[in-house]
Chain A
């Protein structure tokens, strides 16, 4: 094991830029901020007080604050983004926590659609925007609230709600 390999059991802070990268394939802070900005229109300033960490291959965590890297702990902030794959994928936790800052690629569901979505069902829906991962919202207590991550392809919104988080709220 040397400094250029990802160690799956500890937290390593993401390098600021590609020039600072020692571990092959590791996302950089700049790339992460750019991805949230380009995909969802989230202003990078939203994450100014956050540090980003990789633990597990490609699994990026967001922590409010900073610590010396690497750090040997069981958890650091919340899971945030899945990298090391062609299409990066935000986590449900990240979308529920930061999705209110998203300005694009957000799809609003009706009550019935939202219930189906959170049960884990895929559904055919109209969507004029980009294919790919969307922030799924519905109305709660008078405002649109981010509920989770959907994957829109071929006229269908696929529910990305992890099995352990799914709940049957259908009447």
Chain B
């Protein structure tokens, strides 16, 4: 019998609304995107993490300047594996390193000097992105004024992000803040010099472990010109002409639908939601885009060719993984993007959870999973530990913080946040995904740790 309220939640009945088992009434979704119960040992992060870490951070040739005390900058330095072909954004960490005196007297001057100095030291930078942390919101530094003044001085764009950690209920609001600032300050500020009828943006693709490099060649081959990837491996200069695209496709529909909608509302550019993971979903995305640009034949050709390339490998892994039960816990979209991938590998999702999913994420998730699947919003550490113990999945897919809960309970794990050895996206990435799952699930250690050797039996 699947559990609904874990035992550990007896003292916090508020959690009941966040946990459900999918029944026949498919419209039911858990309570979500609301304040975490204080002290519930949540896995959530803050708005700063969503803004600096997820959306702004991948812009490869910008000085990523964190305005605040040192910690927030340090912890986002080279952490997320949003790869690029240049090094600035992950190799260097810029901070105004506010100290007590600045908190009392204000940090505006320090911020201004920091922007100027950073640019002088890194004149190759194409923009400066300034992120506000908790304390900056409280002391009320005039970020906009400082950025504007600095912009005049150095002649490149200086963009303020009001992403103090205390905003909102999770990192999700930080995504929105980043979208809004990049839309308001950047998109539409430059016209495209050589527009073509085949210009498209890929939105919500952050090049985790090279995902964008597995995705983009497919569209190149299709005959579509990818103007900008928002924001994986993106140059800052790719962003101003985003409005000139004929179509936007949205991969991460939690963190980045905002900007697709803003572009649609202001410039009339339509957008299509895509799941560029696995054979079926990637094929569908190619078909949808092919249809839009009237390139359907080419799309079918690519699908046929790419599928033929990977099908034998996927079949091999399917034989090794068939029937395995999966617990998947991701930020939000990858939880539902991947349900179909596990199906393609013959695996079954038995527990699905997200850190910061909204209503639309859960609608998509509930629609995709089978009846009887446990769905949890914002699961906390004791719940995860208990659910791993109760469900004993054959595989847990989540992030680094959760990895060791899994290992200590003897459950194979694949890092779905920053990947083991990606990319995991599109056709070629799917093989890596399957391979990493196979490496985890079929490793001999899991049997060994369950066998109690006879020499210790009496102890």
Do A and B truly interact?
no
